[in-house]
Amino acid sequence: MAFFWEKVVRPVMFALDAERAHDLGIAALRTGLTAPFSRADLEDLSDGLSMECFGLKFKNPVGIAAGFDKNGVVVDQLASLGFGFVEVGTVTNKPQKGNPRPRLFRLPEDKALINRLGFNNDGVDAVVERLGKIERRCIVGVNIGKNRDVPNENAVEDYVRAFGAVHQVADYVAVNISSPNTPGLRDLQSAENVSELLRALSDRREQLGSKPLLVKIAPDLDESSIKDIVDVCLSLRIDGVIATNTTVSRDGLKTPKVGRFGAGGLSGKPLLNRSDRVISSIYKNSGGKLPIIGVGGIFTAADAFAKIAAGASLVQAYTGFVYGGPSFAADVLSGLRRLIAKHGFSSLKDAVGSVHRA
């Protein structure tokens, strides 16, 4: 499967506009053209790699990050490719078209993407209705954000409404305050703003019933800001942190004239070390008490293992999946199993944060 993807399918897809290719990929998944694994195959892939995290049991630690299936249309199909969990979204209260096209670009020399999609989605009500009808072959998280036309002074109310809507269909809820493509959104990461937002969401959770609540942060935060967010999360009993979103940095890229793509968040291989740094910082500042989903630059099992060793209990991919194709999750899972054994760990859980104990 990997050879056919690399030599035949990917060149055809990469000849198309990046967003058009993405839409075709979603359509292929919906119609079953990706030749998913059987249930027996999936059990074999996940054997020995289950993980319990924030009260949920994941078949395996490799998930698909928010942004790939924004509207929850291919959740079961992604699970059939081996992903242990799928994070739907980002979804907003009202439907949103996002930014003008073109808004998604490939950087093959860097194994990267730049996107300025701008939370394009069907709106929370449509997504909730859709998720209520699916079979659920894996853990399903829902990533929520605010609409572009909602000023930051009204952001708390907007997020609380979205949280209330998705509460019934999400296994966990991720709060996106770190996309660079909604003006002013990253200002919500300040200690004061994030504390106000997460406290309001925690209060709403008390009313609705227990539900794992996570916050997704940027890779461009300094050490002090990371510590502030960790302190807020621990004090409010937030269940975990997703590290990280895309970066606005363009440092060290091989792609010539990268400025021609304009603004947007950079994902993929250039994000790998930035993300690992943030994961390590969260793990150290929380004393390992705050579960982490590590995301950013995962293309191989070694990349995933590095994030786990840095402190992540679970990992997610998007750009690596775009480049790696349908066998991506299976390849990473097989490699993870070998790496866990190679490093002498009896389980995946034992490997979490291991670089800090070395």
**Which amino acid makes up residue 55?**
G
Name the H helices within the chain.
2-4, 10-14, 18-31, 39-46, 75-79, 124-131, 155-166, 191-208, 223-235, 272-286, 301-310, 319-324, 328-342, 348-351
> Positive or negative CA dihedral for 335, 338, 342, 347?
positive
CA–CA gap between residue 145 and residue 149 (Å, rounded): 12
CA neighbor of 297 nearest in space, from 324, 265, 335, 271: 271
Is residue 179 annotated as a catalytic residue, yes or no?
Answer: yes
Count of residues in the chain: 358
> Positive or negative CA dihedral for 270, 271, 276, 277?
positive
Residue pair 167/173 in contact by the 8 Å Cβ criterion: yes
CA neighbor of 22 nearest in space, from 13, 32, 31, 30: 13
Which residues are within 8 A (CB) of 242 and not within 5 positions of it... i.e. 6 or more apart?
A: 174, 214, 215, 216, 217, 292, 293, 295, 316
Which residues are within 8 A (CB) of 291 and not within 5 positions of it... i.e. 6 or more apart?
A: 53, 54, 239, 240, 241, 313, 314
CA–CA gap between residue 201 and residue 142 (Å, rounded): 14
Query: With b meaning 16 or more CB within 10 Å and e meaning fewer, what string describes 196-230?
Result: ebbebbeebbeeeeebbbbbbbbbbbeeebbbbbb
Query: To 5 degrees, how large is the angle CA 282–CA 283–CA 287?
Result: 115
Catalytic residue among 80, 179, 281, 286: 179
Residues designated as active site: 179
